[in-house]
């Protein structure tokens, strides 16, 4: 169990986006804390080295605006503020944990969530995949914009600044939830039609959300929902965790795909 | 760093990454928020930060510098319980009490939300859904919060049962008191 003592960390509270970018630098040895709902337990319990910690929760990096037909969301925007966001993002945001967590957790943190070990994380990732999210980030080499798929495949060494998403023509979700006071998500399929094309992704089937490209190809070829759903496991092999077995997920995923596509119409 | 807790400004020496929970309990001896899961899942650590309920175990001290922190200790005016506190007492909404501080702070935020409105059971469950109780089965907690949302705290804060031994406070013995 590594981790440096909490007292030894250099802590920078960024008061602006510029300060956050400067403090982040090239990201070496930096831990970013926005809402802290995922990162703080790792720091507190010394599962993560805290050498240089940059707090961006009060750096003016939250907010939702429109730019050229797309919605731009600041990385530090809370999930509570995304309750009424364009679907399927709104549904994903509303169904995370409880109101106290949602008013603290951020979309940037959710996107950058390290893969869950005992249970899935990053409930918003599938929505971002189907909404053609473009991620603006800072880090080595300066600012740049990348598709969300690339960010999810990368090692998380950049500072997310904001996320822009498309306005879909239609959207749908199909979810397996575990009963609780706030029934939490085991696995969810998000589907959207963007610029006439069907996009499908799943969160909670793998350590990070996955785009179901074989299903998309089937749908683009005119296959109906049930036929398309048969290809669900071509892009992901679900794994076991504390919430559900890989076997169960593999059984249920095609059902969710079929349901989401049927709703999408 | 400066931290204002229940209206009192403190100079705090804990390192900036110390959780607000540990600052409150270990440095300031404000012990109503409890260390349950210490990872944001149980709600036992919930306090108010600028009037909103938050998990103190998830907040680094540096993120709340300058904020107004309110805990259970700051709810009552002297010996006058808040409506929520009185309702919890009246409806027997606590057994071991470990979760109670967190539930009370969540309930305070709900009951005192603007604009004031009658709160249905579903809304109470939604607002409190981040809090775990292992003792009560939640029913009495929901009753208490519903009562508080209707403005029904205890009228005079007299205990429902006499204290053990000696004369009950307030004079006339209540039902079942020793003679």
Which pLDDT score is estimated for A2?
57
Q: How far apart are the first and last CA of chain A?
A: 50
Of A236, A206, A242, A233, whose CA–CA distance to A115 is shortest? A206
- Bridge partners, A160 (sequence order): A137
CA atoms within 13 Å, Cβ hemisphere of A28: 2
| A186, A126 contact by CB (below 8 A) | no
- Does B40 contact A50 at a Cβ distance shorter than 8 Å? no
Binned at pLDDT 50, 70 and 90, residue B111 comes out as: very high
The region, left, alpha or beta by phi > 0 then psi within -120 to 50, assigned to residue B89 is alpha
Which pLDDT score is estimated for B41?
93
The C-alpha atoms of residue B47 and residue B74 are separated, in whole angstroms, by: 10
| A209, A202 contact by CB (below 8 A) | yes
- The DSSP-derived string for chain A is -----GGG-EEEE-SSHHHHHHHHTT-TTEEEESS-TTHHHHHHTTSS--SEEEE-TTSS---EEEETTEEEEETT-BSGGGTTSSTTHHHHHHTSS-HHHHTT-BHHHHHTPPPPSSS---TTHHHHHHTT-EEEEESTTS-EEEEHHHHHHS-S-SEEEEEEE---SEEEEEEEEE-STT-EEEEEEEEEEETTEEEEEEESSSSS-EE-HHHHHHHHTT--HHHHHTTGGGS------SS--HHHHHHHHHHHHHHHHHHH-
| B144, B158 contact by CB (below 8 A) | no
The C-alpha atoms of residue A63 and residue B144 are separated, in whole angstroms, by: 37
pLDDT at B64 over 60: yes
Chain B contacts of A41, Cβ < 8 Å? 38-40, 57-58
B8 touches chain A (CB under 8 A): no
- Does B58 contact A40 at a Cβ distance shorter than 8 Å? yes
Question: Taking residues B156-174, what's their average pLDDT?
Answer: 49
Name the pTM for this structure: 0.91
Residue among A50, A58, A103 whose CB faces B17 most closely: A50
Which pLDDT score is estimated for B166?
47
Question: Taking residues B8-36, what's their average pLDDT?
Answer: 97
Fold assignment, A170-264 = Enolase-like; domain 1 (3.30.390)
Mutate to test the interface with A, among B26, B40, B113, B131 (most CBs of A within 10 A): B40
In the numeric block, which tokens belong to residue A58? 């009060």
- Bridge partners, A11 (sequence order): A53
B158 or A75, which is more confident? A75
Residue B39 has phi, psi (to 5 degrees) of -145, 20
Which pLDDT score is estimated for A121?
83
Classify B47 as helix, strand or coil.
strand
Residue among A6, A7, A37 whose CB faces B40 most closely: A37
Mutate to test the interface with B, among A15, A40, A56 (most CBs of B within 10 A): A40
In order along its 265 residues, chain A shows pLDDT tens digits of 456 678 889 999 999 999 999 999 999 999 999 999 999 999 999 998 889 999 999 999 999 999 999 999 999 999 999 999 999 999 999 999 999 999 999 999 999 998 877 778 889 999 999 999 999 999 999 999 999 999 999 988 899 999 999 999 999 999 998 887 677 889 999 999 999 999 999 999 998 999 999 999 999 999 999 999 999 999 999 989 988 999 999 999 999 999 999 999 8
Is the omega angle on the peptide bond into residue B115 within 30 degrees of 0, that is, cis?
yes
pLDDT at B175 over 50: no
Out of 3.30.43.10, 3.40.50.11540, 3.40.50.720, 3.40.50.970, select the CATH number for domain A1-61: 3.30.43.10
pLDDT digits (tens, 9 = 90+) for B74-104: 998 777 899 999 999 999 999 999 999 999 9
Nearest CA in chain A to B137: A181
Among A221-235, B145-159, B165-179, top mean pLDDT goes to A221-235
- Does A98 contact B130 at a Cβ distance shorter than 8 Å? yes
The boundaries of every CATH 3.30.390.50 domain in chain A are: 170-264
- Quick one: which H or E segment has residue B54? strand B52-55
The boundaries of every CATH 3.30.43.10 domain in chain A are: 1-61
Which pLDDT score is estimated for A155?
80
- Does B59 contact A7 at a Cβ distance shorter than 8 Å? no
Whether the predicted interface score ipTM is above 0.85: yes
Nearest CA in chain A to B47: A100
Distances (CA, A) of A98 to A70, B15, B113: 28, 29, 17
A116 or B160, which is more confident? A116
Contacts with A, B 39-68, CB within 8 Å: 39-40, 43, 46, 52-55, 57-60, 62-63, 65
The C-alpha atoms of residue A157 and residue B131 are separated, in whole angstroms, by: 34
To the nearest whole angstrom, how far is the Cα of A11 from the nearest Cα of chain B? 7
| A171, A85 contact by CB (below 8 A) | no
Of A254, A148, A226, whose CA–CA distance to A194 is shortest? A148
Which pLDDT score is estimated for A182?
72
The three-point CA angle A249-A252-A257 to 5° equals: 115
Of A157, A188, A164, A184, whose CA–CA distance to A67 is shortest? A164
pLDDT digits (tens, 9 = 90+) for B112-136: 998 878 789 999 999 999 999 999 9
| B104, B47 contact by CB (below 8 A) | no
pLDDT at B159 over 80: no
Which pLDDT score is estimated for A116?
77
């Amino acid at each position: 169990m590594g981790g440096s003592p909490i007292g030894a960390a250099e802590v920078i509270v960024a008061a602006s986006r510029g300060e956050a970018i400067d403090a982040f630098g090239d990201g070496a040895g930096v831990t970013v804390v926005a809402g802290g709902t995922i990162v703080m337990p790792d720091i507190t319990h010394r599962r993560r080295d805290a050498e240089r910690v940059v707090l961006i929760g009060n750096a003016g990096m939250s907010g939702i605006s429109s730019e050229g037909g797309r919605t731009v969301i600041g990385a530090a925007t809370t999930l509570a503020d995304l309750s009424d966001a364009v679907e399927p993002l709104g549904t994903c945001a509303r169904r995370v944990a409880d109101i106290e967590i949602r008013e603290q957790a951020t979309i940037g943190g959710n996107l950058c969530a390290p893969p869950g070990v005992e249970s899935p994380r990053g409930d918003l990732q599938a929505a971002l995949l189907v909404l053609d999210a473009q991620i603006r980030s800072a880090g080595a080499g300066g600012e740049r914009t990348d598709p969300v798929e690339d960010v999810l495949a990368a090692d998380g060494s950049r500072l997310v600044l904001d996320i822009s998403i498309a306005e879909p023509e239609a959207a749908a979700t199909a979810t397996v939830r575990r009963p609780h006071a706030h029934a939490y998500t085991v696995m969810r399929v998000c589907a959207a039609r963007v610029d006439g094309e069907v996009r499908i992704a799943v969160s909670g089937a793998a350590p990070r959300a996955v785009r179901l490209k074989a299903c998309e190809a089937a749908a683009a070829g005119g296959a109906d929902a049930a036929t398309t759903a048969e290809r669900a496991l071509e892009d992901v092999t679900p794994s076991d965790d504390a919430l559900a077995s890989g076997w169960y997920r593999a059984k249920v995923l095609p059902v969710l795909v079929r349901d989401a596509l049927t709703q999408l119409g | 760093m400066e931290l204002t807790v229940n209206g009192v400004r403190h100079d705090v020496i804990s390192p900036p990454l110390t959780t607000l929970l540990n600052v409150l309990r270990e440095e300031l001896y404000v012990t109503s928020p409890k260390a349950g899961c210490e990872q944001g899942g149980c709600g036992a650590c919930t306090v108010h930060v600028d009037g909103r309920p938050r998990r103190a175990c998830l907040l680094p001290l540096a993120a709340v510098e300058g904020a107004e922190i309110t805990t259970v200790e700051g709810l009552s005016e002297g010996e006058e319980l808040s409506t929520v506190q009185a309702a919890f007492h009246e409806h027997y909404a606590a057994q071991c009490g470990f979760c109670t501080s967190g539930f009370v702070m969540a309930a305070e935020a709900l009951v005192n939300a603007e604009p004031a409105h009658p709160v249905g059971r579903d809304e109470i469950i939604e607002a409190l859904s981040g809090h775990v109780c292992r003792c009560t089965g939640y029913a009495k907690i929901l009753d208490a919060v519903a009562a508080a949302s209707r403005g029904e705290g205890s009228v005079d804060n007299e205990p429902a049962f006499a204290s053990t031994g000696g004369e009950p406070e307030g004079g006339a013995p209540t039902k079942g008191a020793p003679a």
